[in-house]
Structure formats: C-alpha cells, structure tokens
Structure 1
Amino acid sequence: MLMKTSELSGGGQQDPRDAAVANEAAASSSSSLSEDEAGALYRLLTWLSPSFPVGAFSYSSGIEWAVEAGDVTDALSLRRWLTSMLTDGAGLCDSIFLAHAHRVASSGDDARLAEIAELAFAFATSRERHLETTAQGRAFIEIARAAWNMAPLDRLVAACEVSIVYPVAVGLVSVAHHVPLAPTIHAFLHAVASNWISAGGRLIPLGQTDSQRVLAEFEPIVAATAKRALEASLDDLGSATFRADIASMRHETQYTRLFRS
C-alpha cells in the first residue's frame, strides 16, 4: 500500500524540505513578470543592446582625442575620464533630459515636450557631439517605429518640432510602449557607459577582461547617476567636463580617426 509523504515523515507533519520547496515556488510565482511587464523588459533590453543599430559603435564622444593626447592611457585613466563624463558631463545631462522628456510625454503636455526637446537639441557642446546625438536619436526612433510601431509615438515625435536627440528619443519610445522611467534610465546609462568603455578598449587598447572590470566598477556610479537624474530639475543641468568638451572639439580636426566623434 502506498503511503502519503506526511505519513512517511511521521506524526502527520510535513517534511521541512517539502515546505521549503513550496515556499520557494510560491515566492517565485508572486514575483514573476506579467505579460506586459515581460514585453516591456524585452523591448528595453533590445533597444539599449549594443546590437540595436543606432550606430553607437562609430562614436567615441571625444575619447579618441583623449587617447591621442595622452590623457587616457590605461584602464585606470579611462575609468577616471569616463567617471567624470558620466557624473559631471554628458552622462548626467542626457539622463536628466531623458527623465523630463519621459515624464512630460506621459502627461500629454505637448508644448512642454517641445521646449524640452529644443533645449536638449541646443545643449550639445560641439559639432560632432551634435551629430552624434541627433543621428542616434533619429536612428533610434526610425528603427523602433519600424519594428514595434505604436500610434502614440507618431504624435510625440511630431510634438517635438526639432531633430530629436538620443536621450529624448529613448524617453519618447519608452513612453509609447509603457516602459517605466527608472529602469529606462538605468538601462540607458549602462548602454552609454558600455559604449564609452568599448571605444576606450579599442583605442588604448585594453583587453576584454580589463574592459569588463571597468564596467563592473561603474555599477555604483551608474546607479548613483540614475538616482540624481530622477531627482533633478532642468535647473540642475550643467557640465564641468571642460577637458572632455575640448577633446570633442579637437577631434573634429584630428588627422587620423577611427570614430566619427
């Protein structure tokens, strides 16, 4: 005769191992993603993957000149340079623009959205930086629209009235697909940092392990920058990365170049 598990364990009490398995299964079930959440995560990971064809691999944000000038020579100097760019330069400013574009687009205030898009368009510090952010913004919207078109995106794009820069484009597409702001900013900053590190790794050059170590060290920096961006107003916009701005300008006339910026 077959016996129940409770009888085998004696006294009618449940085996602690079975209880642990049941608790783990219940916790897993309660924390699983809904269909909409899973879809939003899938799209966010796709849009900010290095394989998403916005041409990010062809831009170095001035790092190419910094390497030639001797400012960046190894993993340590690359980490210091990029930390400044992320926390006090383009990384922070772009994520602030993303946050405000996302919030305003979600509210339906088209006039305010146009103002933010215009300010972000005017905020580039050099001709190449302007080319970089507008070209990537245009490509991001065109490819996202072609693959996952959503009717609200057309209205949001039309409301901007200027060429849309990359962080604003990410904000608009995320709103159109109901992707929350916080994970969008974290994913955006991870993508930006990864691209910068990839450029530095090819230019110095660095090995893959050293490049991944730099990216690992950026984890708390990205998290802190995302938190600042989520809490910042447009009055908090500003940059103190003068050497990086000069690098971007000098790159325009650099004799030999691998990158477009």
Structure 2
Amino acid sequence: MQESEAAALYRLMTWLSPSFPVGAFSYSSGIEWAVEAGDIGNAADLRGWLASMLADGPGFCDGVFLAHAHRAASSDDDAGLRGVAELAAALVPSRERHLETSAQGRAFVEIARAAWNCASLDRLASSCGDAIVYPIAVGLVSAAHAIPLASTVHAFLHAVTSNWISAGARLVPLGQTDSQRVLAQLEPVVGATARRALTASLDDLGSATFRADLASMRHETQYTRLFRS
C-alpha cells in the first residue's frame, strides 16, 4: 500500500468510526418508534427494515448526495456544491431527521477543521452556507483530502448501517452476536447501494420507505424516548 492510500484509509476509518464525535449514537432514524410499534421485534425484522432503508430510502439518497458533493468539491465547483447541499437539506422528510443529519454534518465539518484541516476545506465548507447535512459534510471533507469517492461512499454507508444496528441492538434488544449477523447479512445490500449511488444522477433521487418516514415523524411525540430521532 502506498503512503497516500494508507493515509486515505486511516482518515476514513477515523472519520467514520463510532468514536468520531458527531453524536451518531443519540439518533435512531425512527427505529425507536418502529420497535415501540412492533414493526421491529427481532434480528430478522431489523435486517429487513434496514435493507429497505439502505436500498430504497435514506441510505441510497445520502449516498447520491455524498457522491455529487464529492465530485463538485473535487472540481472546485462551488456553485454546484452549494446547490447539492441545499437540495440535500431540503429533501429531509421530517424535523427530527433534519436535526439528526444537520447536527452531525456541522459536527463533522467542525471537527475536521479543528483536527484535519487542509487548504481547501474552509472554502468548500463556506460555499455551502448553513446547509451542510451529514452526507454533504463527508463528501466535501473527503474530497478536500483527495480520498477516493468509491471508498468514501462504501465506508459512509457501512458507518450509517452500523449506527442503525447499534440503535436496534439497544432497543429490541439484541445481543452482540445477532448484531454482527445483521451487519454481515447487509453487506451485499451496502455494496449494491454504494454502486447505485455512484452512478446515479440527482434525477434518480427518490424514496419508497414510507413506514420509516412515518416512524421518524411519530417519534417526535413518542411518550418515552431514549433517542433524539
């Protein structure tokens, strides 16, 4: 492995690790309501729910946004980057999901600036204005550090899936082994979603995970909650 490849891998593993302080552990993307409603009651239910979220919902859409943000940032297309950032923020389907993705996006950029700053990062972040949701943040930071797009999208979707499983494991609850089984079973879905996102245009954006969107909205008034979304 060449030095540049090792550096890219090191940064991706750091930025998308559960220990990177963007607060991902406090969000469930509506999974908490789905467990409360009985939609998710075991590992098989969780796997099916997350497979849909990846392939037909926020997983795919966020992958597309990340890819377009990365390409715009890599080509110094500030206007294009701002347009993608604004679209990504506008298409979030619920208040809590907006809180989730915007809070993580801001934290990701702030921490990258503080610990992993580089020449173009401040300019790229400023070009987005206030509309920096999580996939946009990952896209522009990875582009600023010249990290390959395909690896970034795959790592991002793995990280998002792992966080969803972590939320499910605490809520159902599931054991460590069952959680790892779910992650292993979702490996081909993550890979296929990443490949689709890399070749998709913005016109291909769309979601069919209506129950997950409703779960995110109904979580806002859920009586007992452990998570912020």
TM-score, normalised to structure 2, is: 0.99
In the alignment, structure 1 residue 48 sits paired with structure 2 residue 16: yes
Letter of the aligned partner of 2:30 in structure 1?
A: G
CA distance in 1: counterparts of 2:32 and 2:94, whole angstroms: 15
1:120 corresponds in structure 2 to: 88
Aligned residue for 1:227? 195
Query: Which residue is 1:190 aligned to?
Result: 158
Sequence identity, in percent? 77
- The DSSP-based 3-state class of the residue aligned with 1:178 is coil
Distance in 1 between residues matched to 2:103 and 2:133, nearest whole Å:
8
Structure (1 or 2) with the larger CA radius of gyration: 1
- 1:162 corresponds to 2:143: no
Residue aligning to 1:251: 219
Q: Deviations over 1:40-81 (max 9, x none)?
A: 110110000011010000000000000000000000011011
The residue aligned with 2:148 is 180
Paired residue secondary structure (2:120): helix
Residues in 2 aligned to 1:174 and 1:94: alpha-carbon distance in whole angstroms: 15
Listed one character per residue, the Cα deviations across residues 142-164 of structure 1 (whole Å, up to 9, x for unaligned) are 11111111120101011112330
Equivalent residues of 1:92, 1:225 under 8 A apart: yes
Which 4+ runs in 1 deviate beyond 2 A?
A: none
- Residue of 140, 158, 163 corresponding to 2:108: 140
How far the C-alpha of 1:203 sits from its partner, in A, is 0.2
| Alignment correspondent of 2:44 | 76
**Counterpart Cα distance in 2 of 1:37 and 1:86:** 27
What is aligned with 2:65? 97
Q: Is the 8 A contact 1:121 1:162 kept in 2?
A: no
Distance in 2 separating the partners of 1:122 and 1:212: 34
Structure 1: stretches of 5+ with no match in the other structure: 1-32
Q: Secondary structure at the match of 1:60?
A: coil
Q: Which residue identity does 2:90 align to in structure 1?
A: A
- TM-score normalized by structure 1? 0.87
The CA deviation at 1:35 is: 1.3
- Measured after TM superposition, the shift of residue 112 of structure 1 is 1.1
- Cα distance in structure 2, aligned partners of 1:109 and 1:177: 16
Q: Aligned residue pairs: how many? A: 229
Aligned partner of 2:32 in structure 1 is 64
Q: Specify the alignment match of 2:2 in structure 1.
A: 34
- Report the Cα distance in structure 2 between the residues aligned to 1:162 and 1:107, rounded to whole angstroms: 21
Comparing 61-70 with 161-170, greater Cα deviation is found at: 161-170
RMSD: 0.6
**Of the two structures, which has the highest relative contact order with CA contacts closer than 8 Å and spacing of 6 or more?**
2
Deviations, residues 180-217 of structure 1 (Å, cap 9, x unaligned): 00000000000000000010010000000000000000
Give CA deviations for 1:60-108 in whole Å, capped at 9, x if unaligned: 0000000000000000011011111110000000000000000111111
Q: Equivalents in 1 of 2:38, 2:115: separation in Å? A: 42
**For structure 2, which runs of at least 5 residues remain unmatched after alignment?**
none
Corresponding residue SS for 1:151: coil
C-alpha separation in 2, matches of 1:168 and 1:221: 22
Counterpart residue number, 1:23? none
